[in-house]
Structure 1
Amino acid sequence: MKKRIVSLLLVAAMAFSLCGCGSRARSKSGSDSSTSSNSNVTGKDTGKTTKTNKEKDTLFVNLASEPAHLDPALNSTVDGACLAVNSFVGLYTYDKNQKLVPAIAKGMPEVSKDGLTYKVKLNKTKWSNGEDLTANDFVYSWNRVVNKDTAADYAYLFDVVAKKDDGTLDVTADNDYELTIKLVNPCPYFNDLLAFPTFLPVYQKGVEAAGGTEPGKWAQEPGFVSNGAYTLKEWKHNESMEYVKNPNYYDAKNVKIKKLSFMLSADTTATYTAYNSGNVDFIDDVPTAEIKTVKDSCEFHVADQLGTYYACFNVGADLFKDMSPEKAAKFRKAISLLIDRQYIVDSVGQTGQKEADSFVPYGMTDGNGKKFKTSKDSFYDLDKTGQYGVKEAKKLLEQCGYKFKKQGEDKYSVTPAISLQYLVNEGGGHKQIAECMQQDLARLGIELNIKSEDWNVFVQDRKDGKFTFAREGWVADYNDPINMLEIFTSKSGNNDAQLGKTDSKAAPDWKEYDELIDKAHNEKDFGKRAKLLHKAEKMLMDTNAVIPIYYYNDIYMQKTNVSGVYSTVFGMKYFMYATKK
């Protein structure tokens, strides 16, 4: 899922608990962190706290700025997912220990011996307007996602589900409270998908009543019907959102906070100021310049995630039009070798991120009971990047036809001139990373021009391929490497690199990659499946269109009088069981 976080405070796998103020050091070499434990990495308890507000029934939160979509079928961002899981609920959800637990479902699915048929019994629950929610609502909602008119980026997640002769998903409501799901092949992560936002039910009458050609129109204003812990009551666009407790939520008796008030802003300085003044209880980011000030505070927390921060080239960009696919890959590799990842982590990140030497992050399992990534699965010698990568990068660019003239120690000018535009979304952290890269590339006389865009414009421009080079981030939707790799198939709406989507002669042939992912989806032997995924990652990394920078971790600040908020390694925050003293 696309990562929105504005500053650079991010690495690899766990949840955070929000109970005490403690101190736990983490080694930079923590590449073998387990995703099964519940971990919280915080600063020292210095006794320093900020102002708190006295409104016990309202939790004041900042996650990000104006959301692009509240329709769970259309969302593809982490912050949008956070809003979704607090206003909708599916068959399953995650508890505070990151354990997958039943929500609307009665117990875990009954699975056939061949792993192809799932039967799920549903509890009797209601929509926020009091109408019954039934198995047919899931049949409708899931088929809506895969309908081309919906144009859902995540439609490909349903590729694991079989289809009927009429082309609809082989998902059947046996009665109002029993659902049968047929799969194409056994899927080791299918239960996790059933908790993912794209699999959440939506209210058919509300969707159809909105009409029009905009699929998400029904959820663009307050008052729409949902089934989660909270419903949207008020929305001042680009300013604030107010959610109120849904009395028809299946677990409403355990929801204590009556209102969630969201401050909509990507300005970390403004949100940090609001937090310090007591106007906000929880912020999902901190200005980079303030990290040293707050990192020892009891209110500052760092939690691991499964995800990768990376830079991405558009393989169909004009920059490559006169190059062969091989030369274009060499050019991109040269750029990657020039980037000093450790300097970025130390100077901008500051919270123990781990440099990335592959796209699939450490901590991810392979679907066959083992860790996918080991020390052997590295695509970069990180000790030979940055200033130590200049020699090799220069050699690669010379093979692409560029000539260099020495201008000083480890500094050159290049002919013909190389000028790249690097696209980032607004916010200090991304620009600071870009400025680090700008200095790195300047060693070979390469000019990097930084262009900043508003979040929603930025997302769309990357999706449409209206860029040459851009910052990217992906946090796993479920713990399986196929989720990191399937986003680059030619049919994926999340394939910003445009691999397999452009007719540029400089772009690599992407048919084999698509076939590898399809084979992985259809392989019943999970050991063989893991090998297919390793081969796919190598093919992706060989294009050098994807340049991993570091593995994500997640920071937040929370008032000491707030408890009960929790998160998953997939970046989603759950506020429905929060309490305030």
Structure 2
Amino acid sequence: MQVQKNSVQSKEQCMHKRLWVVTLLALVALLLTACPAAAPAPAPAETGSEAAAPAEGAAEEAAPTEGGGGTLIVGRGGDTVSLDAGVVTDGESARVINEIVEGLTKMEGTSTRPIPWLAESWETEDSQTWTFHLRQGVKFHDGTPFNAEAVKWNLDRIRDPENEWRFGRTFEYYTQEFGETLPINEVNVVDEYTVEIVLGAPSAVLLNKLALAFAFGMNSPTAIQEQGDKYGTPAGTAVGTGPFKFVEWIPDDRIVVERNEEWWGEGPKLDRIIWRSIPDNSARFAELQAGTIHQADLAQTDLPMAAEDPNLTLYTLPSLSTGYIAFQQCIEPFEKLEVRQAIAHAVNWAALIPAFYGEYGELAGSFQPPAILGSNPNIHPFEYNPDKAKELLAAAGLPDGFETDFWYIPVVRGYFPDSKAIGEAIAADLAKVGIKVNLTTEDWGAYLEDRNVGKFPMWMLGWGSDNGDPDNYIGYHFAHTPGEPRAEDCLNDEKLANLLIQGREVADPDQREKIYQEAEQIVHDNVYRIPVVWATTPVVFRNNVKGYEPVVFRSWYEYLWIEGE
């Protein structure tokens, strides 16, 4: 349901807006509670059952039938890092890859239920060995057949660090979502359109993981073999089976894709999509108002004005992202709990919300927002108490404070819409208790890689749910092989690790909720992260963009069209 914003809204219109947002939030929360990601894994009494038939899956994803055509121009705050599915972790890369590359499964609408996609059906007897039956007649954009050999080639590349086609790239999503605790041990070709995946342990969430096309989607083996390490870069291309085909990538300027006329699905409706990089918040909003772009990622401080613009439509979705502060815990002084606690109490986190988020952000308590299974309602935000922070620093042997680098993200994100200004506000509060921070940043791709290898002593980042499951949220950030510290933050908490491993395997939602709430408490008590905000990021279009229906966990560009084009 669209919420049309006019320059003057009646009381009744405002009430309808609030009702729409609350209803959608309630719907998603209900789905996350009643239909958790564990549901697709068969219970013992249902072993050997199959997924929905292809026709049912297709019907559930039926697109609006009106209109068609046009070039959609999207304004965003930063460029894509890579178009190589499996390598990326950032939203700017994922939003493009998801239109080019597809996964074996896909998330249905606003739910956490995976449905058949490139795999038409599947079965398992034990949630550890899975057999997938693939959609026939599908081809990659370069004409390469999609079949079981292509699936094996892609998954072997993702899972094997020694695979020759990785080009030294880091496949972080596989490490975090599978890794040593839930490895893909084997990928076996049964016949041309049947593939078997054997895991190292039972998994209640495999189908949800495979729905992440940007992480576990199917690239063309031919394209990667021909292009080598140029694949997925501006010097190469990206080739999948999806509704749009790659055209060009001009770094820090634009990425262009065009309609795949031979796509196996219905649509797409648009002729082309152009993602333009417009780093300045004000310039991006101005272009949206002027009509030179059709959709824009806006800072929360610009949203009230956007809501009053009669030419714009604003859709509000539930909060499914967290902005947080993190620490490298193998270096001084962040290895000391008292130091992390001091920072947590030194900053007036609550003051950041009205200043930078307005009604589109909520002060975070637990790491996961309330809509995610396992969010702990008994965890409250850290109290602003500078005197307590000074006492904690003294207890850590640092009565005069200390100096450190504090890295802030170089792009606009809903969880940190004005990262430098937010960093400055945090730095000002820390200075009051004797902690001097040097604000610094770098290119987005380098930022993500340097953070991943443990370069930063203290940094800001955030996370938005990919599929609604806690294993993709708190599990992604804190699961690790017991006894082996994570490179990113040197976290080594055996109890936490074992809880999160257990959460991947258990299918019962009530048991999973208890597991993840206990994990949330451990994260909070040890200040492994400081969750700052649960951010709501509305989607804003010009009114001539039609066909959008608010969705959370899947792509939606293929259903859009531009009125009058």
Interval containing the TM-score (normalised by the shorter chain):
0.7 to 0.9
What CA deviation, in whole Å up to 9, does each residue of 1:476-500 have, x standing for no partner? Answer: 2332222223423456999674224
Matched, 1:203 2:216: no
Q: Is the 8 A contact 1:308 1:359 kept in 2?
A: yes
Of 293, 296, 302 in structure 1, the residue corresponding to residue 316 of structure 2 is 302
Give the total of aligned pairs.
Answer: 500
Paired amino acid for 1:552 = A
What CA deviation, in whole Å up to 9, does each residue of 1:40-66 have, x standing for no partner? Answer: xxxxxxxxxxxxxxx952111123422
Paired amino acid for 1:539 = I
Q: Is the 8 A contact 2:4 2:313 kept in 1?
A: no
Of 178, 183, 193 in structure 2, the residue corresponding to residue 158 of structure 1 is 178
Structure 1: 5+ residue stretches without partners: 1-16, 40-54, 366-371, 404-414, 501-508
Of 429, 447, 453 in structure 2, the residue corresponding to residue 440 of structure 1 is 429
Alpha-carbon RMSD across the aligned residues, in angstroms, is 3.3
Q: Find the counterpart in structure 1 of residue 195 from structure 2.
A: 179
Of 344, 356, 359 in structure 2, the residue corresponding to residue 348 of structure 1 is 356
Compared CA separation, residues 288 and 306, structure 1 to 2 (3 A):
closer
Q: Is the 8 A contact 1:364 1:373 kept in 2?
A: yes
Q: Which structure 2 residues correspond to residues 47-446 of structure 1 after superposition, within 5 A?
A: 57-98=70-111, 100-106=114-120, 108-112=121-125, 114-124=126-136, 125-149=138-162, 150=166, 151-156=170-175, 157-159=177-179, 169-197=185-213, 198-211=215-228, 214=229, 217=231, 219-221=233-235, 223-251=237-265, 253-283=266-296, 285-297=297-309, 298-320=312-334, 325=335, 328-365=336-373, 372-376=374-378, 378=379, 380=380, 382=381, 385-386=383-384, 389-403=385-399, 415=400, 417-427=401-411, 429-446=418-435
Greater CA drift, 561-570 or 549-558: 561-570
Q: Find the counterpart in structure 2 of residue 410 from structure 1.
A: none
Q: Distance in 2 between matches of 1:28 and 1:178?
A: 42
What CA deviation, in whole Å up to 9, does each residue of 1:158-178 have, x standing for no partner? Answer: 359977xxxx73332321222
Compared CA separation, residues 352 and 219, structure 1 to 2 (3 A):
closer
Of 485, 488, 506 in structure 1, the residue corresponding to residue 478 of structure 2 is 488
Compared CA separation, residues 421 and 56, structure 1 to 2 (3 A):
same
SS of the counterpart of 1:471? strand
Compared CA separation, residues 567 and 169, structure 1 to 2 (3 A):
farther
SS of the counterpart of 1:109? strand
Compared CA separation, residues 210 and 254, structure 1 to 2 (3 A):
closer
Compared CA separation, residues 309 and 533, structure 1 to 2 (3 A):
same
Matched, 1:498 2:489: yes
Q: Is the 8 A contact 1:186 1:524 kept in 2?
A: no
Q: Is the 8 A contact 2:3 2:314 kept in 1?
A: no
SS of the counterpart of 2:246? strand
Q: Distance in 2 between matches of 1:38 and 1:556?
A: 21
Q: Distance in 1 between matches of 2:218 and 2:431?
A: 50
Q: Is the 8 A contact 1:130 1:248 kept in 2?
A: no
Q: Distance in 1 between matches of 2:20 and 2:546?
A: 27
Q: Is the 8 A contact 2:3 2:315 kept in 1?
A: no
The TM-score normalised by the length of structure 1 is: 0.77
Compared CA separation, residues 577 and 34, structure 1 to 2 (3 A):
closer
SS of the counterpart of 1:354? strand
**Structure whose residues are more often helix by fraction:** 2
| 1:330 Cα deviation after fit | 1.0
Paired amino acid for 1:272 = F
Q: Which structure 2 residues correspond to residues 5-24 of structure 1 after superposition, within 5 A?
A: 18=2, 20=4, 23-24=16-17
The TM-score normalised by the length of structure 2 is: 0.79
Q: Is the 8 A contact 2:322 2:464 kept in 1?
A: yes
Q: Distance in 2 between matches of 1:191 and 1:161?
A: 17
Q: Find the counterpart in structure 2 of residue 35 from structure 1.
A: 28
Q: Is the 8 A contact 1:566 1:575 kept in 2?
A: no
SS of the counterpart of 2:418? helix
Q: Distance in 1 between matches of 2:267 and 2:256?
A: 20
Q: Distance in 2 between matches of 1:526 and 1:176?
A: 36
Q: Find the counterpart in structure 2 of residue 408 from structure 1.
A: none
Q: Distance in 1 between matches of 2:326 and 2:488?
A: 6
Compared CA separation, residues 162 and 402, structure 1 to 2 (3 A):
closer
Q: Is the 8 A contact 1:489 1:499 kept in 2?
A: no
SS of the counterpart of 1:24? helix
Q: Distance in 1 between matches of 2:209 and 2:552?
A: 14
Q: Distance in 2 between matches of 1:91 and 1:468?
A: 38
Q: Distance in 2 between matches of 1:393 and 1:275?
A: 44
| 1:303 Cα deviation after fit | 1.7
| 1:462 Cα deviation after fit | 1.3
Q: Distance in 1 between matches of 2:226 and 2:21?
A: 53
Q: Distance in 2 between matches of 1:443 and 1:558?
A: 42
Q: Find the counterpart in structure 2 of residue 14 from structure 1.
A: none
| 1:73 Cα deviation after fit | 0.8
What CA deviation, in whole Å up to 9, does each residue of 1:419-447 have, x standing for no partner? Answer: 33221123561122212212322332333
Compared CA separation, residues 87 and 352, structure 1 to 2 (3 A):
same
Q: Is the 8 A contact 2:100 2:239 kept in 1?
A: no
| 1:538 Cα deviation after fit | 3.0
Q: Distance in 2 between matches of 1:529 and 1:126?
A: 39
Q: Distance in 2 between matches of 1:258 and 1:28?
A: 31
Matched, 1:478 2:467: yes
Q: Distance in 2 between matches of 1:115 and 1:420?
A: 47
Of 551, 556, 562 in structure 2, the residue corresponding to residue 574 of structure 1 is 556
Paired amino acid for 1:65 = G
Compared CA separation, residues 442 and 31, structure 1 to 2 (3 A):
farther
Q: Distance in 1 between matches of 2:222 and 2:427?
A: 51
Q: Distance in 2 between matches of 1:516 and 1:161?
A: 12
Compared CA separation, residues 162 and 275, structure 1 to 2 (3 A):
closer
Percent identical residues: 19
Q: Is the 8 A contact 2:28 2:110 kept in 1?
A: no
Paired amino acid for 1:152 = F
| 1:32 Cα deviation after fit | 8.2
| 1:395 Cα deviation after fit | 2.2
Compared CA separation, residues 162 and 533, structure 1 to 2 (3 A):
closer
Compared CA separation, residues 339 and 418, structure 1 to 2 (3 A):
same
Compared CA separation, residues 437 and 332, structure 1 to 2 (3 A):
same
Compared CA separation, residues 468 and 446, structure 1 to 2 (3 A):
same
Paired amino acid for 2:408 = V
| 1:315 Cα deviation after fit | 1.1
Q: Is the 8 A contact 1:161 1:182 kept in 2?
A: no
Q: Distance in 1 between matches of 2:87 and 2:562?
A: 33
SS of the counterpart of 1:401? coil
Matched, 1:453 2:442: yes
Q: Which structure 2 residues correspond to residues 514-529 of structure 1 after superposition, within 5 A?
A: 514-522=497-505, 529=512
Q: Find the counterpart in structure 2 of residue 468 from structure 1.
A: 457
Q: Find the counterpart in structure 1 of residue 531 from structure 2.
A: 548
Q: Distance in 2 between matches of 1:161 and 1:312?
A: 23
What CA deviation, in whole Å up to 9, does each residue of 1:142-194 have, x standing for no partner? Answer: 1111121433001232359977xxxx733323212222333444433222112
Compared CA separation, residues 291 and 485, structure 1 to 2 (3 A):
same
SS of the counterpart of 2:80? coil
SS of the counterpart of 1:419? strand
Q: Distance in 2 between matches of 1:63 and 1:292?
A: 19
